Structure 1
Amino acid sequence: MNNELFNEDDQEFDIIEYLNVLIYYRKLIIFVIVVSFVFGIIKYRYTPSTYTTNATILIDKDQSDPSSFISNNEFDFIYDVSRENEDQVSVFKSTSILSNVIEQTAINYKYYKKNRFKSNTLIAEDSLPFVFSFKSNAKKYKADININDDNININLNNETFSLLKNKTEFENSFFKYNPKYNNPKNNSYIINKLPYSEVINDLKENINIDLTKNSNIYEVSYSGPNPMINSRVLSSVVESIQSQNKRNKESIFKLSIDFITSRIYELDNEIDSLNFVISNYKVLNNVYKPEIQTSSALENLNDIQQKIFKSNLQKELSLKLINELKKPNYFKLLPSDIGIAEENINKMVYQFNQIILEKNNLLVDATEKNPLLIQVQDQLQDLKNNIINSLNIYIKNLEMTLSRYTDYKRKSNSIVGVIPIKEAELANLERDLVLVINLHSYLKQKKEEALINLYSVESNIKLINKVDYNVKLNNNRSNILLIAFLTGLFLSIAIVFIVVFFKNLFVNTDYLKIKLRNIHFLGIVKLIKQSQSDELKDVQTELYKILLHNIKVLLPKTDKASSLMITSSIKNEGKTFTSYHIAKYLSLSGNRVILLGTDSKNPDLSKFYNKINSRVKGITDIIYNHESDFKDLFEKYKISQDKFDTILIGTLKKEFIGTFQNKRFIEFYNYLKQNYEYIIFDTAPIQYMADPLDLLDKSDLVIHVFRKHFSNKKTADFMLEYKTKYDLNNLAYLVTDDSKPDKLLEKYSYGYSYAYGV
């Protein structure tokens, strides 16, 4: 098999070669598929069935928000409290809800019934034939309970406790065991107590929530190996979601009630404070009923103004009367009832006028010197003086009264100007009091509404389809075998591709035929062991016949001995193996053949000879021993086997340089040419050693050996390089192949291409 999937010239994919490669590696493919299938069978046996339990819930968005009792939904366009659907899913799978599920269902306790040839069965606690509880508060615990014929073994924390099977109850500092009935069946159980965090992560993975498109309906499902446990868990999930929703609403109502209560208390204090401030304000500012007080002040001001006017009028009248009375010798009638309010003055004026009238009557009959007239005159004078004095006193009283009324007027004016300001301030205080009282009454009402709502709140999450309305068996076990088969198939093909890829980094026959198209290709040599079958040895013989035929075609036609140099680029390419067998098959044809081991660094030729090692004397011991005849030494050191002679490199390998240009070696070489028909040089790798270069001019044909899928492709470049450098026209190559034959694909008699005298 060439394992070359791409042609070097056109890089086209060769489907036939690809199929051949797969057939060639069919054993590997079958092995990988079988191994994968075995693992699939094991996994199939130990993979429990999975059940999915479903429930359907509805989130009713028509339900009012818990805080709507305050605003009556008047500001919903501002405060949109609805959640996005993705947020609802996150809430449903929140840690708080799942922790509540664990508390309700004790799902952190896992109970397994052991099975021998399949996975352990997860069972509910009710299915256990006993009641078992851990006493420690540790987050993680594991107990193995084995019920045998005579006793019960409980393994906990690497400690084993053995109980009699008929024992009714057992308790220690670690656990408590109590059988539900006598003589339970022989079984083994495992009880695991898991930490909450691990259980919550498991619940999140197994709970699936799907939203129905364009609706508020959610399909909630839980998957697990036990449908009974699934039902309990899913029921608890739904109940926890509803309870959480209800608690959220209740918490809002409670927060609202607490806030309203505290606010009412503050308002009570504020009302008392405002009442106290208003009372003090009225007392300090003498403001009780501002409108009445203002009206009264205005009336008083009008009365004062009238009194001032009247007093001024009395004063003016009194002054005029005084001015009349103060005129010299004024004894005439005085005006009476002129409006003077003083009664005494009016009486005196009246008396004065009466006396004037009496005087005037006396003057008719008597003279001015009449004693009666004199007496009357004196009376008039006295009365006049009294009237003037009375008027002066009256005027003074009027002036005092005017002064007092003026003060009253000024005070009344100030009162009239201040009362509106104080009235406005009092109105502000009373308005604040009214607002606080109204708010107090409003909050009292809302508190009662909140209390009513608190005790009547319901979850707006409704269960439409009950839990267990649809239980599905999600049994992927049948797919496991198919997956195992496909995995094995694709993995094996991938391995084949990888192997072929790496093999394509190295040479094969097709590559060399293209790369070295101008160099003679001799054929293929199978690297076989002595223990191989006769059929393979027959194939090997045919291959060597072809190889020897091609070699003879390329050798010059001469009667002299022909020399063959067999070399390679690196070690382990099959160079020595090829040299030995070419010598062997040439000798089988009756030719006299000698094989020279010329690899001084890593001689491997000795391994083809019985009881011979690399320390046997040979060429170097002959050349550098000048005391003895090399002919005698040759006869002494040569090895005869398989009808041909062999001389190894010898024991003196590192002490000398230019061994094969040595004069004594040339004489030895000429001696061999006279006694043998074929001289074969088994050289060191030419890429790293100089010795093979010294043998190029002594070789009629240089045969370069490549090993299939071992020699790097760069070795072909090196061969072309040294062919050009040393102008070698007598250069050919062959390919060694250590791959096992595939009878289905290859028939060596025909499958290996070769060329006669290319």
Structure 2
Amino acid sequence: MNTDKNEYFDFVEENSPVDLKQVINKYLKYWPAFVLSIIICLFSAFVYLRYANVVYKSEAKVKLLNDKENSNFTLDVSKLFNKSTINLENEIALLKSVHISEQVVKNLKLNVEYYYNSRVTSKQIFNPPFIVSYRYDASNLKKTLDYTITVTASGYTVLDILSGETFQVKGYTLNQNIPHLPINIKPAFGAVMAKNVSKSFNVVLKTLHKTALELSNDFEVDAEGKDSDILSISLKGTNGPQSEAVINNLIYVYEADGITDKKEVSRRTINFVDDRFVYLRRELDSIEISKKNYKKNNKLSFIQEDAGSSILQKAAKEQSSFDIESQLLLADLLRNSIESQKAFELLPADIGIQNLIINQLVADYNTAVLSYQKFQTSAGNNNPSVQLLVSTLTNLRNNIINSVKGYKKQLKTTLVQSESAQKEAEGSFASLPEKEKVLRSIERQQNLKESLYLLLLQKREEASINLAVTIPNTKIIDYAITDIHPISPQRNKIVLVAFFIGFCIPFGILFILFKLDNKIYTAVDVENTNTVLPILAELPSLKGNKDSAIQNLEAFRTLANNTNFITPYTEDELGKVIFVTSSIKGEGKTFVSFNLASAYAHIDKKVIIIGSDFRNPQLHKHLKNTTKDSRGFSNYLHDGTIQWESLLCNNGDKEFPFDILLSGIIPPNPTLLLSNQRFERFINEVKKVYDIIIFDTPPTLLVSDTLMISKYADTTLFVLRSGVTQKNLISYSSKLYKDQKLVNMGYVVNDIDFTSSYGYSYNYGYGYGYGKEVEKETRLQKLKKKLFKRL
């Protein structure tokens, strides 16, 4: 192979516009695959829908009430004018907390799950024929237990999946203990065990914490609007009544938790007042005894009423001092209470201190203590939220202490001023006996303690009333309701997706196969790659019958006629030289050469076909009693004493004969042999004898032999084979023509299956008297025949 031909190996396939109709027809040939794929996918979708769990959404709505909407019964009407804000995020976090969910799990025994084992699948059920319970406290269950229970005619067969042991239980008695297992089993109320004989159930006992954690994640709690106090609580499940019961129980536990918090504040207030009553009673008893002894010792029974304005003025000053001293005592009580706490505990609320700042700080402190106790239980001391609450409580405690100190300092200053004024008023009483002053002082102390006693008693009654009539902070708008339409699976969407997947699978496979397939199959593929060179003929595939032979003859007659059109006309009467070549071997150039010679012979042309492919001769296969070692053209070119006429063979057809010059013995250097001067002399001689001279030449891509002798050709037929020739070889052959390496070139597409490539048969020759006439078929018959052939 010489270096002149290497430049043709780096050819580029030309891009052509896509014919949409052709592309669609290419895929439509495989419509049974599309139908089968869609049927399989739709069947898979229906099987999935048959056994998939149907999930429904249950939803409830509650409204959160603030302090004005849900006012606790109190004698202090000032609370009605305090604006209350609801932090929805905190309430949502509380509803989704593990603490609340764990209580719901306990109430409904959700940690025990039942599954019915059918032949195809296993589904969770909520109305089992028997009830399984943990024999001990469910809070002590530390790992998941898994059992398979089969109902038998005489009892149960229990398989412990973790250990693999099997236990037999006789009878269906209530709360029947199973030896060696920590569970009890009893028939469900109203269940008929006879209907469940031989049925198998899987029972899973989970820990309370694990079940509560899963349940809290399953709850969806959202606000109805940006400024709305209404919360929507939803849960997705396969059993609507079960989901409704879980949501309703969650609301119940949430309300009970809020009520418990409120009652705890009232209880703390009552306990605080009761503790103070003990000290007040002792002090009152001590004052009364002192008064009695003073009167007895000083023989005082009645002090007449003092007169006039001096008495009124004195009484007013005394009342002012009395009020101040009362506030000092209450401040001391509150300060002692908060300083005596070892941990964060609730403070008594509204004990009578006439300072709004201190009262508000006490209320904020109690609210923070409640939040701290809840989060400490569920989250632990290391939780960022708990640590933030500890910091908030410490700051509030310090603020209360500092506020009480400031308030006492203010009261003492006021008291000093009041006592100074009182001394001035008492100056007018200098004439009064000293005994009356002492008695007045004792009575003042007595009145002070009695007032404080009555105030605390009032607060105790208020706390008792709040404890008795505490109502929840929620108003249920809608109890849990299950939507009649399931949220999954969505049947229409699944069927549509299955149909789409069924269509895409064969389409994708065919698309990949088509993209990977770079071979030509019809003349259209050649035209899409190259529009310069003509396609002289499309040769049908041979099927080995008489009709196929007739079709083949007609195709080659068409090739002969079209070859005449591109062959240049000359006025001399010399024969025309036709080269038949291809890119690679196996594309049928020898087959085309032989049958083209036969076609020319049928139109009364004197034809000779010459085998010039010395490297891989194939022309001998079309003759009898010849081999590739038979003498031929290579012998003539090598030996100057041999006449080419003596080497000729005949095709054996007496009616349409033509001559054949075989390739001859394979030479060691075919290129050198073809460059022999005898080749040109041979051309000149055979052109005088024959009308058509056909050369069966070597492939152009493999060797350069054809390109060396191409100058002697009047016409070059480039053979392409359907399903063998690659599309990029079209560009290669086109470049040969553009560079004038091959002259008067035309394509011959060989071995086309017209039925699969075009959808019709190659029967155009029948109407011209070749062979037996075909009976006409109706369109319906053709369609039936086509369908049965594809199937």
What band does the TM-score fall into relative to the shorter chain? Answer: 0.5 to 0.7
Query: Which whole-Å CA distance do the structure 1 matches of 2:149 and 2:62 have between them?
Result: 40
CA contact (8 A) 1:575 1:682 kept: no
For residues 606-645 of structure 1, the aligned pairs below 5 Å read none
Match for residue 265 of structure 1 among 337, 348, 354: 337
Q: Secondary structure at the match of 2:119?
A: coil
For residues 444-463 of structure 1, the aligned pairs below 5 Å read 453=466, 456-463=469-476
Q: Report Cα offsets for 1:138-181 as digits up to 9, x if no partner.
A: 75565444556799665554865445575676846566474638
Query: Which whole-Å CA distance do the structure 2 matches of 1:640 and 1:153 have between them?
Result: 91
The one-letter amino acid of 1:696's match is: S
- More deviation in 27-36 or 148-157? 148-157
Q: 1:41 to 1:257 in 2, by over 3 A?
A: same
Look up the match of 1:111.
Answer: 114
CA contact (8 A) 1:564 1:702 kept: yes
Query: Which whole-Å CA distance do the structure 2 matches of 1:208 and 1:290 have between them?
Result: 64
Q: In the TM superposition, what is the alpha-carbon distance from 1:698 to its structure 2 partner?
A: 4.7
For residues 73-472 of structure 1, the aligned pairs below 5 Å read 76=83, 80-83=85-88, 92-116=95-119, 119-124=121-126, 126-129=127-130, 131=132, 139=143, 142-147=146-151, 156-157=160-161, 160-163=164-167, 166=170, 171=178, 176=183, 178=185, 180=187, 184-192=196-204, 204=217, 207=220, 211=224, 215-243=228-256, 245-246=258-259, 263-266=335-338, 453=466, 456-468=469-481, 472=485
Q: In the TM superposition, what is the alpha-carbon distance from 1:513 to its structure 2 partner?
A: 3.4
Look up the match of 1:40.
Answer: 45
Aligned-pair identity (%): 14
Q: Secondary structure at the match of 2:45?
A: helix
Q: Report Cα offsets for 1:3-32 as digits up to 9, x if no partner.
A: xxxx957x8x85x55664564342232122
RMSD: 6.4
Query: Which whole-Å CA distance do the structure 1 matches of 2:630 and 2:257 have between them?
Result: 98
Q: In the TM superposition, what is the alpha-carbon distance from 1:123 to its structure 2 partner?
A: 0.9
Tell me the TM-score normalised to structure 2 length. 0.54
CA contact (8 A) 1:565 1:696 kept: no
Query: Which whole-Å CA distance do the structure 2 matches of 1:604 and 1:200 have between them?
Result: 83
Look up the match of 2:582.
Answer: 567
CA contact (8 A) 2:144 2:206 kept: yes
Q: 1:72 to 1:30 in 2, by over 3 A?
A: same
The one-letter amino acid of 1:523's match is: A
The one-letter amino acid of 1:114's match is: N
Query: Which whole-Å CA distance do the structure 2 matches of 1:206 and 1:668 have between them?
Result: 100
The one-letter amino acid of 1:701's match is: T
Look up the match of 2:508.
Answer: 495
Q: 1:700 to 1:265 in 2, by over 3 A?
A: same
- More deviation in 52-61 or 488-497? 488-497
Query: Which whole-Å CA distance do the structure 2 matches of 1:152 and 1:646 have between them?
Result: 96
Structure 2 residue 484 is matched with structure 1 residue 482: no
Match for residue 562 of structure 2 among 550, 562, 565: 550
Query: Which whole-Å CA distance do the structure 2 matches of 1:534 and 1:94 have between them?
Result: 87
Look up the match of 2:300.
Answer: none
Q: 1:206 to 1:731 in 2, by over 3 A?
A: farther
Q: In the TM superposition, what is the alpha-carbon distance from 1:44 to its structure 2 partner?
A: 2.4
Query: Which whole-Å CA distance do the structure 2 matches of 1:460 and 1:549 have between them?
Result: 101
Query: Which whole-Å CA distance do the structure 1 matches of 2:103 and 2:724 have between them?
Result: 67
Q: Secondary structure at the match of 2:755?
A: coil
Q: In the TM superposition, what is the alpha-carbon distance from 1:208 to its structure 2 partner?
A: 7.4
Q: Secondary structure at the match of 2:716?
A: strand
Match for residue 72 of structure 1 among 56, 72, 79: 79
Q: Secondary structure at the match of 1:112?
A: strand
Q: Report Cα offsets for 1:528-556 as digits up to 9, x if no partner.
A: 4758x887776666544433432344346
The one-letter amino acid of 1:110's match is: E
CA contact (8 A) 1:566 1:681 kept: yes
Q: Secondary structure at the match of 1:127?
A: coil
Q: 1:524 to 1:155 in 2, by over 3 A?
A: farther
The one-letter amino acid of 2:337's match is: Y
CA contact (8 A) 1:56 1:466 kept: yes
CA contact (8 A) 2:560 2:600 kept: no
Look up the match of 1:513.
Answer: 527
Query: Which whole-Å CA distance do the structure 2 matches of 1:743 and 1:684 have between them?
Result: 26
Structure 2 residue 590 is matched with structure 1 residue 583: no
Query: Which whole-Å CA distance do the structure 1 matches of 2:237 and 2:213 have between them?
Result: 14
Query: Which whole-Å CA distance do the structure 2 matches of 1:251 and 1:645 have between them?
Result: 119
For structure 1, list consecutive stretches of 5 or more residues without a partner in the other structure: 1-6, 282-288, 297-437, 752-758
CA contact (8 A) 1:566 1:683 kept: yes
Q: 1:716 to 1:592 in 2, by over 3 A?
A: closer
Q: 1:81 to 1:44 in 2, by over 3 A?
A: closer
Structure 2 residue 27 is matched with structure 1 residue 26: no
CA contact (8 A) 2:553 2:599 kept: no
The one-letter amino acid of 1:729's match is: V
Q: Secondary structure at the match of 2:475?
A: strand
Q: 1:32 to 1:577 in 2, by over 3 A?
A: farther
> Which has the larger Rg?
1
Match for residue 717 of structure 2 among 691, 703, 718: 703
CA contact (8 A) 1:242 1:459 kept: yes
Query: Which whole-Å CA distance do the structure 2 matches of 1:672 and 1:197 have between them?
Result: 103
Q: 1:715 to 1:667 in 2, by over 3 A?
A: closer
Look up the match of 1:55.
Answer: 60
CA contact (8 A) 1:617 1:651 kept: yes
